[in-house]
């Protein structure tokens, strides 16, 4: 079984990239299963189901979607095995990126778009810096020069990753991404594997449902902007 994680900011084109690439994988009869993690609501599951593949959707509700994601990795792998998948692709919620739970030994793909701003590669942290493959979308609507600068900024924070330009409308780039996914490592279990970066501590009263503002309501791991 190949287990691949795909992350990236909201609206960067993760789902479009995946749908085009899965269509390519299905041409070769690769058995693909998709997991989608989100917080409150997602329609992406339906879009994957339209491809006729097994889909599992997890909504984290009140929990951090990335922590929920890590807590369910083994369950998702077991589910995919039951569905005779040869490749499991797990898409993150794409919210804060601070956690970006990429797994050692599993291919990690990040999608980032040319419109997201020139400083984005420097700002988004481990989701980009620990990725094996960086897929850049929306290159068709920005200038050649901006594409080159954006690519260079990505190189600066992640010198090793394979960088791939992808057009989410036409699917241009999907053949290359299929090849990369097919060459990714095999895993049998995720138990005892580790995350590529630690997830930040986030244990304060607001994590447990507090809504009131003010020092007296803030318990646990609290950091102040001015000390």
Interface contacts to another protein, rule CB under 8 A: 114-115, 118, 140-149, 151-153, 165, 170, 172-173, 175-176
Burial string for 28-53 (b: 16+ CB within 10 Å, else e) reads eebbbbbbbbbbeebebbebbeeeeb
Minimum separation from the CB atom of position 114 to another protein (A): 7
Helix (H) or strand (E) holding 211: none
- Pick the closest to residue 32 from 49, 16, 15 (CA basis): 49
Q: Which is nearer to another protein, 120 or 130 (CB)?
A: 120
**Residue 49 CB partners (closer than 8 Å, separation 6+):** 55
Q: Which is nearer to another protein, 165 or 193 (CB)?
A: 165
Q: Which is nearer to another protein, 159 or 209 (CB)?
A: 159
Minimum separation from the CB atom of position 129 to another protein (A): 19
Q: Which is nearer to another protein, 54 or 121 (CB)?
A: 121
Tokens (6 digits) for 21: 């690439």
**Residue 176 CB partners (closer than 8 Å, separation 6+):** 164
Minimum separation from the CB atom of position 139 to another protein (A): 8
Minimum separation from the CB atom of position 118 to another protein (A): 6
């Amino acid at each position: 079984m190949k287990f691949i994680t795909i992350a990236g900011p909201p609206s960067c084109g993760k789902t479009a990239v995946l749908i085009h690439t899965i269509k390519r994988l299905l041409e070769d009869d690769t058995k693909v299963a998709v997991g989608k993690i989100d917080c409150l609501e997602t329609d992406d599951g339906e879009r994957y189901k339209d491809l006729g593949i097994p889909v599992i959707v997890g909504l984290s509700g009140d929990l951090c979607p990335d922590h929920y994601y890590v807590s369910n990795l083994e369950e998702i792998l077991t589910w995919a095995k039951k569905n005779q998948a040869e490749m499991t692709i797990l898409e993150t919620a794409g919210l804060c990126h601070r956690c970006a739970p990429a797994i050692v030994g599993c291919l990690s793909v990040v999608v980032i778009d040319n419109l997201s701003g020139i400083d984005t590669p420097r700002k988004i942290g481990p989701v980009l810096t620990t990725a094996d493959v960086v897929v850049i979308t929306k290159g068709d609507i920005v200038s050649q020069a901006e594409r080159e600068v954006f690519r260079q900024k990505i190189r600066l924070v992640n010198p090793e990753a394979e960088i791939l330009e992808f057009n989410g409308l036409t699917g241009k780039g999907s053949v290359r991404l299929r090849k990369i996914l097919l060459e990714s490592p095999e895993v049998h279990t995720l138990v005892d594997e580790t995350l590529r970066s630690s997830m930040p501590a986030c244990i304060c009263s607001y994590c447990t449902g507090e809504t009131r503002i003010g020092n007296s309501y803030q318990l646990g791991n609290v950091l102040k902007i001015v000390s």
